[in-house]
Amino acid sequence: MLVKPGYLFTFRILPRAVEQAKVENIADHQPQALPRGNETILVVDDEAALLERAREALEKQGYHVLTACDGKEALERLAEHPTISLSFSDMVMPSGMNGYELAQQAMENRSDLKVLLTSGLAEKAKGKAGLKTNLLMKPYTHVDLARRVQSVLSESKTAFS
């Protein structure tokens, strides 16, 4: 390397680290594994983007997922697929049938069906007298959804009593 006359170079010598850097275990910072399943779940939502996100999240956890965009279509899916273990439905749908009504009609034919409802509107989520419901408030994360679905599926009773 040629150095032209008149240029000054400055070198700094830094002290050497006396202690070794503490190496943290990466596993300590990893989230707990999400619950997995193999049941069939019916996801009902009139908003296509939310329907797709829920479907993708549940499929990643090993579930078989069917979808419907309203209560009428959901009842058709339930009749066609007796293996559906859980209905995950929005509370507010434009077709005239809300999540509670869907759950009540579905359980008339399928008393073993588990139900998880979701809503972003607290006043709509209060429920009906005499109904015990499983509710997941919006917005929810994929982690929230996976844990709640597994919790509802592992309950010994149906969602409505």
User: What is the Cα–Cα distance from 161 to 137, expressed in whole angstroms?
Assistant: 21
pLDDT of 29 higher than 60:
no
User: What is the Cα–Cα distance from 161 to 142, expressed in whole angstroms?
Assistant: 28
User: What is the Cα–Cα distance from 120 to 136, expressed in whole angstroms?
Assistant: 9
73: left (phi over 0), alpha (psi -120 to 50) or beta: alpha
Q: Model's pTM, two decimal places?
A: 0.74
Of the two residues 151 and 128, the one the predictor is more confident about is 151
pLDDT of 156 higher than 90:
no
Identify the three-state secondary structure at position 33.
Answer: coil
Other C-beta atoms closer than 10 Å to the C-beta of 11 total 4
pLDDT tens digits, residue range 59-76?
999 999 999 999 999 999
Q: What are phi and psi of 28, to 5 degrees?
A: -65, -25
Domain definitions of the chain by residue range: 36-121+131-154
Q: Which CATH architecture has domain 36-121+131-154?
A: 3-Layer(aba) Sandwich (3.40)
pLDDT score recorded for residue 95: 77
Tokens of 35: 């619950």
User: What is the Cα–Cα distance from 13 to 32, expressed in whole angstroms?
Assistant: 44
pLDDT score recorded for residue 21: 47
pLDDT of 152 higher than 80:
yes
pLDDT score recorded for residue 68: 97
User: In terms of Cα–Cα distance, which of 38, 41, 116, 39 is closest to 77?
Assistant: 41
pLDDT score recorded for residue 85: 97
pLDDT tens digits, residue range 80-117?
999 999 999 999 888 789 999 999 999 998 999 999 99
Q: Mean of the per-residue pLDDT values for the chain?
A: 82
